Amino acid sequence: MRVIEHQMLQAIQQRKNWKKSNTEVRILSSDMPHITVLLYDNEIYEQCANKVGWSLCRRNTTTTRSRLRSLGIPIHQRKGLPYLIVGNDMVPIASNKRYIRGEEINGQIIVRS
């Protein structure tokens, strides 16, 4: 894990707004945790109560995938295409779509994002 990702996770754990280089953490509510993570001003991750949403924001880059993996999203790339690891399967995903935990992708439910 990169240093910037470690600092990002610390900010989330401490519920503190934080920004460094191209990555930003915003804590939008202190009562009920509402956390967003931005990469180049694009919201790649959002957590509110029990819901987790994430997106590549049309940027299937090494940095975007690395930030999402550090947040617990098991995303990888093969032959230039993004995939989500669901159980033992690699499920293709769209780089322009927003995903939410519990959502179905190609007949499989995302349970670990």
Report pLDDT for 26.
Answer: 96
Report pLDDT for 113.
Answer: 39
Report pLDDT for 5.
Answer: 97
Kind and range of the H or E run holding 97: none
Report pLDDT for 105.
Answer: 57
Residue 53, strand partner residues: 46, 100
Domain count, the chain: 1
What type of residue sits at position 5?
Answer: E
CA-atom Rg of the chain in angstroms: 14
Using a 10 angstrom Cβ sphere, with 0-12 exposed, 13-18 middle and 19 or more buried, the burial of residue 56 is buried
pTM of the shown model? 0.87
Q: Are strands 75-78 and 34-39 parallel, antiparallel or unpaired?
A: unpaired
Per the structure, the complete domain to which residue 39 belongs is given by: 3-109
Question: Along the 113 residues of the chain, how does pLDDT read in single tens digits?
Answer: 899 999 999 999 999 999 999 999 999 876 777 999 999 999 999 998 778 899 999 999 999 999 999 999 999 999 999 999 988 999 999 999 998 876 655 555 554 43
